[in-house]
């Protein structure tokens, strides 16, 4: 019986006595103990009625059981669907409707609300959250062996939602081979081995923290210092005993801002990886000056896993995202005609390879718009490529704000604002922010009767959207700047209000 991802990432660790996870409370889990736990959880999934191909929706705290749950879903042949823990009830409701999961695993403290949402659909609900979690408790007396369900390379392993320019989140369908091929390419390129110890301080519900960080560690048999969240004190404490850190640029600016971060602290470190948002060349240089290490920047997307990376052995150039990974092709095309651009000319970054997803869940039209029949995916990022293949990102053709590594689509916020009775129209845009890279500003044109209350606007936004999407500033304007075609000029808003 084969199960592509399980056989490669998990099964080889049966009986492996090496440490896998080291958690905040000091507990450690060997690879063997982890696999036994995953098997117990897989039994609970099956007993709850999860069938191969079913979605298991997970919005739960970053505890060791959540990684075991990922392994359990894979071996049970289910599709793992992780969600940002910051999502509101309204957002969760959308994902439940769209993905139609057979099981929801939530934080114990959210059980009552989640049950109320799930009830109308008859979806099962279990909880994670230490010993009190019903999933954890149900697993405790189960068998520590489980025969993995047959799954091939093209079967789906995960469904990851990514917001869209239309304001509706789309579920990116990722196959076993999408995930495995990328994990192999990154582990080889970054030479990750069982001698490595990774500081894992990223969230566990996105490509970066779940697949880039965990799948490579699992493949290599590395140790993972599993931190519940980014905490500067913990990072500074762990650096001397670690070899790898994977982070978004905010990690690096925050670390650099602390004078205790010195060269001595990173003597044992091998690689610092950055991605999910642009790393300023200034941060790259400051990091090198302080530590002698050049941050290794790579580029990826939910739909494509990782696409390019600076080399481990070779020049890591600030402001570039390096070369296409092994098995991944990149072309730069004219955004209007789709024709291939000559080297050095700006165009749309398109990507093809085993890493590219299978399409959007239940959205064949959207899939056809973004995934060509030739297999090339249109990233919406604008870039250039030099003759030797090195890629630089120079902008985005999609209206997107990236704040602290989280993607925020203005349309989703504008829809909420425009629905309010006193709002005529709105425009949401990103402005530079020293901590998060960009932060969200909303410009609102209100009805002329003067009754609009910004407090009421904030309340409404709060009930509908996760905190990280909330505008940090509201501007009341008489009109939005528009070009002769009537299109709102967000560049003008950014230039006028960017500082």
> Which residues make up the interface to ligand AMP (CB under 6 A)?
162, 207, 275-278, 297, 299-302, 321, 379, 381, 393, 396, 402, 407
Taking the CA atoms of 84, 87, 93 and 98 in sequence, report the sign of the dihedral they define: negative
Residue nearest to ligand AMP (CB): 302
Shortest CB 390 distance to ligand MLC, Å: 17
Q: Tell me if 353 sits within 8 A of 306, measured CB to CB.
A: no
Please name which of 263, 252, 393, 255 lies closest in space to residue 317, comparing C-alpha atoms. Answer: 393
- Based on CB atoms, which residue is closest to ligand MLC, 119 or 467? 467
Report the site for ligand MLC in 271-290 (rule: CB under 6 A): 275-276
Which tokens sit at 260? 């205790």
- Based on CB atoms, which residue is closest to ligand MLC, 380 or 405? 405
Contact track, ligand MLC, 229-268, x by CB under 6 A: xx-----------------x-x------------------
Please report whether residue 62 would count as binding ligand MLC according to CB under 6 A: no
Q: Which of ligand MLC, ligand AMP, none lies near 490, with the C-beta cut-off 5 to 8 A by kind?
A: none
CA distance 138 to 472: 42
- Based on CB atoms, which residue is closest to ligand MLC, 124 or 317? 317
Question: Which range of residues in 136-144, 203-211, 360-368, 445-453 is near ligand MLC by CB under 6 A?
Answer: 203-211
Among 77, 133, 209, 278, binds ligand MLC (CB under 6 A): 209
CA distance 456 to 263: 49
Taking the CA atoms of 472, 478, 483 and 487 in sequence, report the sign of the dihedral they define: positive
Shortest CB 3 distance to ligand MLC, Å: 25
| Packing angle of the helix pair 89-99, 111-119 (nearest 10 deg) | 40
Among 176, 197, 200, 208, binds ligand MLC (CB under 6 A): 208
Q: Which of ligand MLC, ligand AMP, none lies near 278, with the C-beta cut-off 5 to 8 A by kind?
A: ligand AMP
Among 467, 482, 487, 496, binds ligand MLC (CB under 6 A): 467
CA distance 264 to 248: 23
Instruction: Report the SS3 class of residue 312.
Output: coil
- Indicate the Cα dihedral angle 360, 59, 96, 180, nearest 10°: 30
Q: Which of ligand AMP, ligand MLC, none lies near 321, with the C-beta cut-off 5 to 8 A by kind?
A: ligand AMP
Instruction: Report the SS3 class of residue 384.
Output: strand
Number of residues in contact with ligand MLC under rule CB under 6 A: 22
* CA distances from residue 404 to 239, 249, 399, 478 in whole angstroms, order as listed: 21, 7, 17, 31
Q: Which of ligand AMP, ligand MLC, none lies near 468, with the C-beta cut-off 5 to 8 A by kind?
A: ligand MLC
Among 129, 278, 347, 404, binds ligand MLC (CB under 6 A): 404
Q: Which of ligand AMP, ligand MLC, none lies near 404, with the C-beta cut-off 5 to 8 A by kind?
A: ligand MLC
Residue nearest to ligand MLC (CB): 404
Q: Which of ligand MLC, ligand AMP, none lies near 250, with the C-beta cut-off 5 to 8 A by kind?
A: ligand MLC
Q: Which of ligand MLC, ligand AMP, none lies near 209, with the C-beta cut-off 5 to 8 A by kind?
A: ligand MLC
Please name which of 110, 128, 30 lies closest in space to residue 73, comparing C-alpha atoms. Answer: 128
List the end-to-end C-alpha distance of the chain, in Å, as a whole number. 59
Q: Tell me if 457 sits within 8 A of 428, measured CB to CB.
A: no
Among 94, 468, 474, 497, binds ligand MLC (CB under 6 A): 468
Q: Tell me if 477 sits within 8 A of 455, measured CB to CB.
A: no
Please report whether residue 301 would count as binding ligand MLC according to CB under 6 A: yes
Q: Tell me if 87 sits within 8 A of 205, measured CB to CB.
A: no
CA distance 408 to 410: 6
Which tokens sit at 45? 């999934």
The conformation of residue 493, written as its DSSP 8-state character, comes to H
Which tokens sit at 50? 């999860």
Q: Which of ligand AMP, ligand MLC, none lies near 75, with the C-beta cut-off 5 to 8 A by kind?
A: none
Residues forming the site for ligand MLC (CB under 6 A):
202-203, 206-209, 229-230, 248, 250, 275-276, 300-302, 403-406, 436, 467-468
């Amino acid at each position: 019986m084969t199960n592509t991802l399980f056989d490669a990432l998990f099964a080889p660790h049966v009986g492996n006595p090496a440490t896998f996870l080291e958690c905040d409370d000091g507990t450690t889990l060997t690879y063997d103990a982890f696999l036994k736990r995953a098997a117990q959880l897989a039994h609970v999934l099956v007993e709850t009625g999860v069938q191969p191909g079913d979605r298991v929706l997970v919005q739960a705290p970053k505890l060791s059981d959540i990684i075991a749950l990922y392994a359990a879903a894979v071996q049970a042949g289910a599709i793992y669907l992780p969600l940002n823990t910051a999502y509101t009830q309204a957002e969760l409701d959308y994902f439940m409707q769209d993905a139609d999961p057979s099981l929801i695993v939530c934080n114990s403290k959210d059980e009552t609300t989640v049950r109320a949402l799930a009830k109308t659909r008859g979806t099962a609900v279990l909880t994670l959250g230490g010993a009190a979690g019903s999933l954890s408790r149900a697993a405790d007396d189960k068998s520590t062996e489980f025969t993995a369900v047959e799954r091939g390379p093209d079967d789906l392993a995960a469904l990851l939602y990514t917001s869209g320019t239309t304001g509706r989140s789309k579920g990116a369908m990722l196959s076993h081979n999408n995930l495995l091929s990328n994990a192999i390419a990154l582990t080889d390129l970054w030479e990750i081995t069982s001698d490595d110890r990774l500081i894992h301080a990223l969230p566990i519900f996105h490509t970066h923290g779940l697949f880039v960080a965990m799948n490579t560690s699992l493949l290599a048999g590395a140790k993972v210092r599993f931190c519940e969240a980014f905490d500067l004190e913990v990072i500074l404490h762990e650096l001397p005993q670690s070899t790898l850190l994977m982070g978004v640029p905010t990690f690096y600016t925050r670390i650099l801002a602390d004078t205790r971060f010195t060269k001595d602290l990173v003597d044992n470190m091998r690689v610092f990886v950055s991605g999910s948002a642009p790393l300023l060349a200034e941060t790259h240089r400051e990091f090198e000056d302080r530590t002698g290490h050049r941050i290794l920047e790579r580029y990826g997307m939910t739909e494509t896993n990782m696409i390019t990376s600076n080399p481990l052995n070779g020049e890591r150039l600030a402001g570039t995202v390096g070369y296409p990974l092994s098995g991944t092709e990149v072309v730069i095309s004219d955004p209007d005609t789709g024709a291939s651009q000559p080297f050095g000319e700006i165009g749309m970054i398109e990507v093809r390879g085993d890493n590219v997803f299978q399409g959007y869940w239940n959205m064949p039209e959207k899939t056809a718009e973004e995934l060509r029949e030739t297999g090339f995916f249109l990233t919406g990022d604008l870039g250039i490529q030099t003759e030797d293949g090195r890629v630089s990102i120079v902008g985005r053709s999609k209206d997107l704000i990236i704040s602290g590594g989280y993607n925020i689509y203005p349309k989703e916020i504008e829809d909420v604002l425009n629905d309010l009775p006193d709002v005529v129209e709105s425009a949401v845009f990103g402005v530079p922010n020293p901590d998060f890279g960009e932060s969200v500003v909303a410009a609102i044109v209100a009805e002329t009767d003067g009754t609009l209350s910004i407090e009421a606007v904030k309340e409404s936004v709060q009930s509908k959207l996760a905190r990280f999407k909330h505008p940090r500033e509201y501007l009341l304007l008489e009109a939005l700047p528009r070009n002769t075609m009537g299109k709102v000029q967000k560049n003008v808003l950014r230039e006028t209000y960017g500082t």
